Amino acid sequence: MTMNNQKNQDQLAEQLERKGLNLAAIKESLKNQVIELPSWAVGNSGTRYGTFRDPGAAQTIWDKIDDCAEIQRWVGICPKMASHVLWDVTDDGKYTPVKEYAESKGMSIGTVHPNTFMGQQFRFGSVCNPFEDVRNSTLEHFRDCVRITREMGSKSIGIWLADGTNYPGQDNLFERKHRLEEGLADLYGAMDPDMTLFVEYKPFEPAFYTTDIMDWGMSLLLCNKLGDRAKVLVDLGHHLPGVNIEQIIAILLDEKKLGGFHLNNCKYADDDLMVGSINPLELFLIYAQLTEKEAHGNSDEITYMLDQSHNIEPSIEGIIQSVMNTQTAFAKALIIDRKALAAEQQEGDVMMANRILMDAYETDVRPLLAQVRAEMGLEPDPLLAYRRGGYAEKIVKKRKGTGTNTLGG
Ligand code: PSV
Ligand code: MN
DSSP state of 141: H
- Per cent of the chain over pLDDT 90 is 89
Does 409 map to a domain?
A: no
Is residue 221 assigned to a domain?
yes
CB atoms within 10 A of CB 256: 12
Average pLDDT estimate for 152-173: 98
pLDDT tens track for 258-305: 999 999 999 999 999 999 999 999 999 999 999 997 766 556 789 999
DSSP codes, 58-76: B-SHHHHHHHHHHHHHHHS
Question: Whole-model pTM?
Answer: 0.96
In a domain, 179, yes or no: yes
Residue pair 43/57 in contact (Cβ under 8 Å)? The answer is: yes
Q: Which helix (H) or strand (E) holds 231?
A: strand 230-235
Of the listed ranges 42-56, 83-97, 294-308, the least confidently predicted one is: 294-308
Average pLDDT over residues 362-390: 97
Ligand nearest to the backbone CA of 261: 2
For residue 404, is pLDDT > 80? Answer: no
Which pLDDT value is given to residue 214? 98
Tens of pLDDT, residues 222-264: 999 999 999 999 999 999 999 999 999 999 999 999 999 999 9
| pLDDT of 350 strictly over 70 | yes
- Tell me what the mean pLDDT of segment 306-323 comes to: 97
Q: Is residue 307 lining ligand 1, measured as CB closer than 6 Å? A: yes
pLDDT category, 405, cuts 50, 70, 90?
A: low
Distance CA 171, CA 362 (A): 50
Please answer whether residues 31 and 375 qualify as being in contact, where contact means their C-beta atoms are separated by less than 8 angstroms. Answer: yes
Q: Cα separation of 264 and 237, whole Å?
A: 6
Q: Residue 150 pLDDT more than 80? A: yes
Among the bound ligands, name the one nearest to the CA of residue 85. Answer: 1
- Split into its structural domains, the chain has a count of 1
Q: Which amino acid is at 338?
A: R
Range of the domain at 95: 15-399
Peptide bond between residue 206 and the one before it cis (omega within 30 degrees of 0): yes
Average pLDDT over every residue of 358-374: 97
Q: Whose CA is nearest to atom 7 of ligand 1?
A: 160
Residues paired with 38 in a beta bridge: 82
In a domain, 9, yes or no: no
Find which of 2-16, 42-56, 290-304, 306-320 is predicted with most confidence, using mean pLDDT: 306-320
| Domain assignment of residue 24, yes or no | yes
Taking the CA of residue 407 as reference, the ligand 1 atom at the shortest distance is 12
Residue 4 lies in a domain: no
Q: Please name the residues in contact with 3: beta carbons below 8 A apart, sequence gap of 6 or more.
A: none
pLDDT exceeds 60 at position 407: no
Q: Choose the residue to mutate in 37, 87, 200 for probing ligand 1, maximizing ligand atoms within 8 Å of C-beta.
A: 200
- Is 406 a domain residue? no
| Residues 381, 378: Cα–Cα separation, whole Å | 8
Confidence at residue 253, expressed as pLDDT on a 0 to 100 scale: 95
95 lines ligand 1 (CB under 6 A): no
CATH number at residue 20: 3.20.20.150
pLDDT of residue 408: 40
Whose Cα sits closest to atom 5 in ligand 1?
Answer: 160
Residue 5 lies in a domain: no
Cα–ligand 2 centroid distance for 238 (angstroms):
8
Tell which residue, 290, 89, 276, 260, has the closest CA to residue 160.
260
13 band by pLDDT with thresholds 50, 70 and 90: confident
Least confident of 5-9, 127-131, 311-315: 5-9
Confidence (pLDDT) at 11: 83
